[in-house]
Amino acid sequence: MNKTIQLQDLGNKDYKETWEYQEELFKGIVDLKIKNRREELNLETPNYFLFVEHPHVYTLGKSGDLSNLLLSEKQLETKGATFYKINRGGDITYHGPGQIVGYPIIDLENFFTDIHKYLRFLEESIILTLQEYGLECGRSDGETGVWLGAGTPFARKICAMGVRASRWVTMHGFALNVNADLGYFDNIIPCGIRGKAVTTLNVELGVERVNEEEVKEKILRHFADLFESKFE
């Protein structure tokens, strides 16, 4: 089992280009697994972890409701945003500058074959990171992602998650609001959940800006610990 994960920071990159790149890496792993089974080989499958920041974009998961996007095509253009229907789980979400997006494209057979556990570990890597900043956060019953004030009238989401998995290979991942412009969330019903707010790390800490590279380092450390893996 290969527990080494290749880390790639793509910087600021178009959503569609990144999605196509994810699909390419994903297909490479799946094809290798099929080859292993057909030819009775035991070739090692690679694992990847992509960090990226996207220009303003809204994405709708395969089970999502288009009515949760509150903008017309023309209004999207005015705001300099794009929109895509994609093949992850979940409803609608926003990506943009000031947000840390992580896409683990890993073969879970290198770690454990349990999608529920995978999602909980993804959430836990973010929860542990935010706790280092002194924030009390956690999960909200029946809703993926990471929340502050879950179960109270002041519940607010700080990290959205949506994944796809096939043959135990994952893609898509999480979007953590660090220094994001919250105004862009006003144009959607985030994740299809009405009446719940969205927040960012810098707002919660009451600072103008949080060091995003520092946040990434913390996420990777906790991810590596949880998955008993190492990055290269």
Annotated binding site for substrate: 88-95, 160-162, 173-175
Nearest to 135 by CA among 182, 220, 185, 202: 202
Is 191 assigned a catalytic role? Answer: yes
Instruction: Report residue 51: phi and psi, to 5°.
Output: -100, 140
Contact by Cβ (8 Å): 166, 81: no
Q: Which of 191, 198, 201, 220 is catalytic?
A: 191
For tokens 């996207």, name the residue: 54
Query: How far is residue 113 CA from its own chain's centroid?
Result: 20
Q: Name the amino acid, one letter, at 216.
A: K
Q: Distance between CA atoms of 215 and 12, rounded to whole angstroms?
A: 16
User: In sequence order, what are the beta bridge partners of 231?
Assistant: 5
Look-up of token digits 């890496």:
25
Instruction: Provide the annotated active-site residues.
Output: 191
